[in-house]
Structure 1
Amino acid sequence: MPATRQAPTARLRRLAAELRRLRAESGQTRETIEEKTRINTATLYRIESARVRPQKRTLLALLDLYGVDDEAERERLVGLSRDSRQLDWLQHYEPGLPAAYQTYISFESEANRLQNYESSYIPGLLQTEAYTQEVIRSMRPSETDEGVHQRIKVRRRRQEALHKDAALSLWAVIDEAAIRRTVGGEAVMREQLDHLLKVAESPSVTLQIIPYHAGAHPGMPGAFVVMEFPHDDPALVYTESTSGGLLLEGQADVERYRWIFQRLVAQALSPAETTKLIRSL
């Protein structure tokens, strides 16, 4: 009974946690489940670690074995599996995107709040198209024109989350270096700074700059995003470097980055002071 490989989502993580709980309560091991259902242990491990989405018949077989007889509960779990599919629009861009980035986008699409610190760049959700293009070309000099265009379209789709009725809440803290670095020339940077002033007026966006005079701060090692989810789904942290992206799920890691973000907020200019600084450039 094969499962469907996909980028993880918050709902898939929730389903995996439910299935782990049900198996533990039933007293079953992965080995005994393989004997009774022919769902091999490797597949079950991938399902329980949210690496794959179970096919419906696999999920129903597990629920039967775990003694889940309540129809409402069965439908809830089947619905959770059905709704855990990867974003339809993202599948079109899969071949050109690193797996870690796809995973991040999937989680970001389900988050209701982001705390984003950037040390060198304007946050992706707040970038203009021209700024994005310059960043991609500088980071990926061998990228084809089509590849650059595809990545820009992905960035634009991600930015739509800030304009939905139930808009994503973004709290962005940016090092002053990012707004002073002239990416793409004066015209491109002027447009980007004007865009920051515009989005800073949105009720769903909080923007703060850490000024040079703040001195050393705990964000200096690099950028990160803390993603918060509805339905009490556990938070995640995403960090990125030249070697790729990394998702951190451990509670200790999440709490550490929450603490770092609050320290950064305390050292940053207020939103009003931030817009004043941007206007002065």
Structure 2
Amino acid sequence: MRLRRLASELRRLRQAAGLSQEDVAEKTKVNIVTLYRIETAQAKPQLRTLIALLDIYGVTGDTHADLLSLQKEAKQRGWLNDLEANLLGQYSAYIGLESEARQAINYESLFVPGLLQTEDYARAVIRGVRPTAPDDENENRVTARMQRQLLLEGDKPLRLWAILDQAALCREVGSDAVMRDQLTHLIQQAQRPHITVQIIPFSAGAHPGMPGSFIVLKFGPDDPDVIHIDSMAGDLFLEKETDIRRYNQMCEHLRAIALSPADTVALLTSLHRDH
């Protein structure tokens, strides 16, 4: 995502300067194919190339420093480096995208959303869906899931809108005690200002989310959304405009038929009493 942001900003700056790619190639001696690859996030610009581009676009001050930082950090993966060798590449890719997002809309039909799971619930879920995987691989996934939840902390936390089918809360995962703690955690998280939780009750009947779960990741105003779908066939990343529009429309529909955030907390409290 850092590379995509850098590419988008360089494209915008060139257009604002009234220059074509051919003009820039002539002025900087940067190959036009290389310039095209840089502006479409297919290649990371070398530092001297980036400086040359910023010079002809007249970029100075904080913007200049910010773009140099983006170039430097374009391949950084943070805490994921220690775990990446033990995680599937697609899951690693998702974690990288999620860490750059400003907002996530997560619909789940069978699980509590990963960013809202307790460690015991996460461990029980991961072991349950990966019964033949070695224990160390499953523990790496638990660790990764707990690390991801740090996105919900800090001065500028990820804004999370979680929508889940009531069925996800009626399936006992781990044990009665695990579910009780998980429901307590959900109630607490649902009352934080940057987290919204809605439950689609059984009384809603059939609804568009029944075919499966998905996550919509939202970035800056100049970056398109990314749709992530986790399935038995592997992870899918959708970035076409038609797919983005379709899934955002589905989010609006699911929000409309789900319980309000206040009624959701009331239902969670009732389910907690049952445990």
TM-score, structure 2 normalization: 0.84
1:185/1:96 CA distance change after superposition, 3 Å: same
Secondary structure in structure 1 of the residue aligned to 2:144: helix
Count how many residue pairs are aligned between Structure 1 and Structure 2: 265
Measured against aligned partners, the alpha-carbon deviations of 1:201-227 in whole angstroms (never above 9, x if no partner) come to 211111111011101111112111111
Secondary structure in structure 2 of the residue aligned to 1:121: coil
1:110/1:77 CA distance change after superposition, 3 Å: same
What residue number does 1:104 align with?
A: 94
2:155 pairs with 1:165 = yes
User: Gaps spanning 5+ residues in structure 2: where?
Assistant: none
Q: Which of 40, 53, 56 matches 2:44? A: 53
Residue identity matched to 1:160 = L
Q: Which of 224, 230, 237 matches 2:220? A: 230
Q: Which of 139, 142, 149 matches 1:152? A: 142
What residue number does 1:5 align with?
A: none
Query: Matched residues in 2 for 1:185 and 1:201: separation?
Result: 25
1:261/1:28 CA distance change after superposition, 3 Å: same
The answer as to whether partners of 2:162 and 2:196 remain within 8 angstroms in 1 is: yes
Q: Which of 250, 255, 277 matches 2:240? A: 250
Question: CA offset at residue 230 of structure 1?
Answer: 3.3
Secondary structure in structure 1 of the residue aligned to 2:110: coil
The answer as to whether partners of 1:86 and 1:106 remain within 8 angstroms in 2 is: no
| Percent identical | 47
Question: CA offset at residue 126 of structure 1?
Answer: 0.3
1:243/1:47 CA distance change after superposition, 3 Å: farther
Question: CA offset at residue 143 of structure 1?
Answer: 2.2
Secondary structure in structure 2 of the residue aligned to 1:13: helix
Measured against aligned partners, the alpha-carbon deviations of 1:6-29 in whole angstroms (never above 9, x if no partner) come to xxx2x2112223455649943449
Query: Matched residues in 2 for 1:262 and 1:276: separation?
Result: 22
User: Gaps spanning 5+ residues in structure 1: where?
Assistant: 1-8
2:77 pairs with 1:78 = no
2:85 pairs with 1:95 = yes
Question: CA offset at residue 161 of structure 1?
Answer: 1.4
Residue identity matched to 1:102 = S
Question: CA offset at residue 44 of structure 1?
Answer: 6.6
Question: CA offset at residue 279 of structure 1?
Answer: 2.0
Query: Matched residues in 1 for 2:43 and 2:132: separation?
Result: 32
The answer as to whether partners of 1:224 and 1:238 remain within 8 angstroms in 2 is: yes
Query: Matched residues in 2 for 1:74 and 1:254: separation?
Result: 32
Question: CA offset at residue 78 of structure 1?
Answer: 2.5
Question: CA offset at residue 151 of structure 1?
Answer: 1.4
Query: Mapping of 1:160-199 within 5 angstroms?
Result: 160-199=150-189
1:105/1:51 CA distance change after superposition, 3 Å: farther
Residue identity matched to 1:53 = K
What residue number does 1:261 align with?
A: 251
Query: Matched residues in 2 for 1:25 and 1:94: separation?
Result: 41
Residue identity matched to 1:149 = E
CA RMSD of the aligned region, Å?
2.8
What residue number does 2:104 align with?
A: 114
Query: Matched residues in 2 for 1:143 and 1:46: separation?
Result: 39
1:231/1:85 CA distance change after superposition, 3 Å: farther
Residue identity matched to 2:202 = Y
1:25/1:100 CA distance change after superposition, 3 Å: farther
Question: CA offset at residue 87 of structure 1?
Answer: 2.8
